[in-house]
Amino acid sequence: MDKSNTPIQSLSDTIIEGKAEILVTEKNVFYNPVQEFNRDLSVAVLSLFAREKYDENVKKTNKLSDNSHKNVENSVVFPNENKNGISILEALSATGLRSIRYGKEIPYVDRIVANDISSKAVDSIKKNIEHNKMDHLITANHQDATIFMYQSRQNRFDVVDLDPYGCPSIFLDSAVQCVSNGGLLLVTATDMAVLAGNSPETCYVKYGAVSIKSKACHELALRILLQHIAAHAGRYGRYIEPLLSVSVDFYIRVFVRVFTGQIKCKKNTSKLGMVYQCIGCESMTIQPLGSVDSESYKLPSGPPVDQLCKFCRRKHHIGGPIWIGSIHNQSFVDKLIESVDNMELGTLKRIKGVLNVIHEELDIPLYYVLDRLMSIVRCDTPSMIKFRSALLNAGYKVSFSHTNKQSIKTDAPTTVIWDIVRAWEKMNPAKRERMLENSTALTILTGDSTTDVTFDLHPLANPASRKMHLSRFQLNPTANWGPGARSTTIIDPNDVSSKKRKNQNKHSKKWAMKNDEDKQITNEAPIERNDSPPLKQCKSD
C-alpha cells in the first residue's frame, strides 16, 4: 500500500514507522520523521543486497560441501537462513528505530548491533528492542562508535550504517576497516552548506576537497563524499564501488561496496579529478588526476583550460578533487526498481520516482541548469523539452539528474551547449543594447557557432519517468525540515524542545535582558548626566 502522503502514526507515547514501534520515553534521544525516506530507501537497498549476499553464501557452502563429499551422490546442503545471512552494524543508533526496521523488514539477517555513545540512548534502544520482541536478533551496545568499529576489524560486519549529525568524516577510517570484503557501507552527510561551496576551506578540512559554488552543487557534494570514502579505503588496500548515491531533502546518502585489492586501488587516480569552473559563464571542465591504459598508469597532461575561458574571457575557479567515476550501479538500480514493488514502504511512491530518474541518468559527471544558462545571457528560457530536443537532434545524449528538475546532464561538449543557447536567442532576442561591451552575456552571444541547431521535437526528449507522472524530484520543505538540533527528539513541531521554537525572537529576548540590566543598574546607583553640549562663550566688544 502506498502511504506517501500519510504521516507517521503516533499512539500516545508510541511512534509507528514501517513495522517498528518506538517508545517515546526520552526527550533528549534523537528522532527525525522527515528521514523516513532515508530509512525506507535503506531498507529497500539492504533487502536486495541481503538476498544477493545470501545466494553467494549458499553457493560457497554448497561448493565446500561438494568438495568434502565427492563420493556421495546428489549431496546438497540446505543452510540455515540466518547462519548465511548478513551482519549489520548501526554505529549511531539513537532510538534503535533503524535497526529494528532492518530486523523486521529485511530478509536473511544473521545479527544486528545497535550502538550509541549515549547511555540514555542505549536505554531507549534496549526498551524498544524488548518492546518489538527483537532480542534474538538485535543487540544494544554502549560504546564510542569509532572505538567499537576499530575493535571489529577481525570480526567484520557485512553492512555498516553511518547516519551521523553533520559530517561523517571522523567515522570513515574505522568504518572502511570493519566492513567485510564485498560488504556494504552506508553513509549520510547533512552538512550541505559546507559541501555545496559556502565554506571551501572548511570542506577541505573535513573532506579533503575544495568545494565550489555551482548549480551542480548537490552532485558535487556526492562526488566529494565518494572521493573521501575512497581515500580512507585506499590507505588499507581497499577500494569502493558505488551502488547508489542520492541527494534528497537536506542531506546526501551513498551506498558503496568495499573490496580488498591493492592493484585496483591504483585505478583511483583515473576516477578522481579537479573541476575548473569559469567565474563568468560557469562553464565546467574536468581534469582527471590520472589515466589507465591496459593496466599502464599515466600522468595526465594539463591544464585542460586556458588562462581565460574561451567562451567569455573570464578566469576560472578550481575545485576538487571529486569522484568522476560512476556514482550508481545501473544493474543494481534496475533490480531495486523491480524489488520495491513488492515492499510496503511509507515513501514508496517517491522512492520509485527517484530511482527511475537515476535509472535514466547518464554516467557523466555534473550537469548544467537550464534557467541558469539562459539567465547568464539574459534571455527567455525555452521549455526543457525543446532544449533536450536540440541536443538529441545534434546527435548527443541527454538526461536529468535526480538532484535538480532543471538539470541538463549530457555528453555534448560545452561548445554545443552555447551554440544551442545562441540559436535560441536568435529566435527570442535578448536586449543587447542593455549589455555592457565586454559583458559575459554579450561575449557569448556574439561568439561563432559551429553546430546545426534545430528545436524540432525529438521522440526521446520526454523521458519515461515524466510520462509516467512519477514523483521524481525533491518535495517542498515540511515541518521538522533539516537535521534538527543535536541529541534532541524531534516529534511535534509545536513542542518547546524544537530548534525553531527555541530560537524564535532570540534577538528580541537578548535586548530585553540588556535593557532590564541597564534599568537595574540605574535604580541602584543613579547617575547625574549632562548630555547637553557646552554653551559657547561670546567675546565682549
Per-position pLDDT tens, the chain of length 541: 444 434 444 444 788 999 999 987 655 445 677 889 999 999 999 999 999 998 887 887 776 666 554 443 433 333 445 667 999 999 999 889 999 999 999 999 999 999 999 999 999 999 999 999 999 999 999 999 999 999 999 999 999 999 998 999 999 999 999 999 999 999 999 999 999 999 999 999 999 999 999 999 999 999 999 999 999 999 999 999 999 999 998 999 999 999 999 999 999 999 999 999 999 999 999 999 999 987 788 999 989 999 999 999 999 999 999 999 999 999 999 999 999 998 999 999 999 999 999 999 999 999 999 999 999 999 999 999 999 999 999 999 999 999 999 999 999 999 999 999 999 999 999 999 999 999 999 999 999 999 999 999 999 999 998 888 777 776 666 665 566 555 444 444 455 555 556 666 666 666 666 666 665 555 544 444 444 444 444 443 3
- Same structural domain for residues 303 and 171? yes
CA angle 43, 47, 51 (to 5 degrees): 170
3-state secondary structure of 365: coil
C-beta separation of 358 from 351 below 8 A: no
- Same structural domain for residues 374 and 443? yes
Q: What is the pTM of this model?
A: 0.84
3-state secondary structure of 291: strand
Cβ-based burial of 477 (10 A; exposed 0-12, middle 13-18, buried ≥19): exposed
Distance between CA atoms of 209 and 458, rounded to whole angstroms?
Answer: 39
What total number of domains does the chain contain? 2
- 509 bridge partner residues: none
Q: Which domain holds residue 419?
A: 369-456
- In whole angstroms, how far apart are CA 13 and each of 6, 25, 26, 491? 19, 7, 10, 11
- Same structural domain for residues 255 and 120? yes
- Same structural domain for residues 319 and 420? no
State residue 55's pLDDT score: 87
Cell of 434: 542593455
- Same structural domain for residues 210 and 86? yes
- Same structural domain for residues 267 and 166? yes
The secondary structure element, H or E, covering residue 107 is none
The alpha carbon of 441 is separated from its chain's Cα centroid by a whole number of angstroms, namely 33
Distance between CA atoms of 496 and 473, rounded to whole angstroms?
Answer: 32
Q: Confirm whether 490 is domain-assigned.
A: no
Q: Confirm whether 295 is domain-assigned.
A: yes
Distance between CA atoms of 223 and 197, rounded to whole angstroms?
Answer: 13
- Same structural domain for residues 328 and 424? no
> Hunting for cell 577481525 — which residue is that?
154
- Same structural domain for residues 175 and 91? yes
Cβ-based burial of 432 (10 A; exposed 0-12, middle 13-18, buried ≥19): middle
- For 56, other C-beta atoms within 10 Å of its C-beta total 12
The secondary structure element, H or E, covering residue 404 is strand 404-410
- Same structural domain for residues 313 and 421? no
Q: Confirm whether 2 is domain-assigned.
A: no
